[in-house]
């Protein structure tokens, strides 16, 4: 088994909000960690232009990944304009063929932002298509394994109508909450923007509150929630439980 895990999310800081604690635990267990974003977050500033803030946020993403020894990838799509189309899907298939992960984390299929929802669908298709020899993309070396696919929490744990999106799997990240906070704080361009406008560190507070909420649901201090894709052809056993044991509920 290739002990590689890949997070495929939309923007720099998404992984830090949603699955960085679990990534840190997997890294500690000897897994090779890759964090990919579809975009460089080029709309994430009201002061800097797109190219300027993209340069800043790529560097922040790489710095956060480095904390847990992860490799950062950016697929250079446009923030706000992530599309489910052939060119974008080819980028994601090529990424998976290059990294060859056994486990993939991606965004919730239902979330507040269509960028996230499109990323979720792109990752789902790419996991299925990465081993299809005739699926043309930059890397034509098929990955001969359909990865385990897990969806991270939706923001605030709810869908667009306010309905609760309940995890089926929880990972106890109590020992990694400080690492998760340190990684999130690497994204200073986003943290400082909220500090300036709200005069409170909501960036870190909201992450910790969500992690604490999920922890409370399973009697732990902090946790991250996931749902596993169990459709035809995808692995159906819970490999997170196999790797992390009692930390998984």
Q: What is the pLDDT of residues 166-180, one digit of tens each?
A: 999 999 999 999 999
Residue 113 is assigned to a structural domain of this protein: yes
Return the pLDDT at 9.
Answer: 98
Domain coverage including residue 94: 4-231
> Which of 108, 212, 228, 105 is closest to 160 using CA atoms?
108
pLDDT band for 200, please (50, 70, 90 cuts): low
Q: Is residue 249 part of a domain?
A: no
**Number of independent structural domains in the chain:** 1
Q: Give, as one character, the DSSP assignment of residue 46.
A: S
pLDDT at 39 over 70: yes
Q: In the predicted model, is pLDDT for residue 197 greater than 80?
A: no
Distance of CA 207 to the CA centre of its chain: 14
Mean pLDDT of 8-13: 97
Please work out, in degrees rounded to the nearest 5, the angle formed at the alpha carbon of residue 132 by the alpha carbons of 127 and 134: 135
200 versus 52: the higher-pLDDT residue is 52
The pLDDT of 213-238, averaged and rounded, is 98
243 domain-assigned: no
Q: Could you read off the pLDDT of 117-135 as tens digits, one per residue?
A: 999 999 999 999 999 999 9
C-alpha span between 57 and 10 (Å, rounded) = 12
Over range 219-242, report the average pLDDT: 98
pLDDT tens digit string along 146-162? 999 999 999 999 999 99
Q: Is-contact 22 223, C-beta < 8 A?
A: no
Residue 242 placed within a domain: no
Q: Which of 136, 148, 141 is nearest to 101 (CA)?
A: 148
User: pTM for the complete prediction?
Assistant: 0.96
Question: Which DSSP string do the residues of 97-162 spell out, in sequence order?
Answer: HHH--SEEEE--SS-SSHHHHHHHHHHHHHHHHTT-TT--SS--S---S--EEEEEPPGGGB-TTS
Domain annotation covers residue 217: yes
What is the domain-level CATH number for residue 9?
3.40.50.10320
Write down the pLDDT at residue 1: 81
The mean of the pLDDT values for the chain is: 95
- Residue 25's pLDDT band (cuts 50, 70, 90): very high
Mean pLDDT calculated for residue range 61-67: 98
Structure tokens at 39: 């975009």
Q: Does 244 map to a domain?
A: no
Residue 237: inside a domain, yes or no? Answer: no
Query: In this structure, is residue 214 part of a structural domain?
Result: yes
Q: How far is CA 30 from CA 10, 70, 148, 229, 243, in A?
A: 26, 12, 17, 24, 10
Question: What's the pLDDT band for 85 if we cut at 50, 70, 90?
Answer: very high
């Amino acid at each position: 088994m290739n002990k590689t895990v890949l997070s495929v999310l939309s923007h720099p800081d998404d992984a830090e909000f949603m699955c960085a604690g679990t990534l840190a635990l997997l890294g500690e267990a000897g897994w090779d960690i890759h964090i990919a974003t579809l975009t460089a977050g080029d709309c994430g500033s009201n002061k800097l232009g797109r190219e300027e803030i993209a340069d800043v946020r790529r560097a922040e993403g790489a710095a956060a990944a480095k904390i847990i020894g992860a490799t950062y990838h950016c697929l250079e799509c446009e923030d706000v304009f992530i599309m489910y189309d052939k060119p974008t899907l080819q980028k994601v298939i090529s990424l998976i063929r290059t990294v060859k992960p056994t486990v993939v984390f991606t965004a919730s299929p239902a979330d507040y932002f269509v960028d996230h929802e499109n990323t979720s669908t792109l990752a789902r298709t790419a996991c299925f298509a990465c081993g299809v020899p005739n699926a043309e993309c930059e890397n034509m070396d098929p990955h001969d394994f359909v990865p385990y696919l897990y969806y991270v929490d939706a923001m605030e744990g709810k869908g667009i109508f306010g309905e609760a999106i309940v995890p089926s799997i929880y990972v106890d990240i109590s020992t990694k909450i400080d690492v998760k906070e340190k990684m999130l704080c690497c994204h200073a361009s986003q943290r400082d923007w909220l500090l300036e406008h709200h005069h409170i560190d909501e960036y870190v507070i909201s992450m910790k509150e969500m992690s604490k909420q999920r922890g409370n649901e399973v009697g732990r201090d902090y946790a991250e929630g996931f749902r596993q894709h169990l459709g035809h052809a995808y692995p159906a056993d819970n490999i997170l439980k196999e790797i992390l044991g009692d930390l998984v509920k």
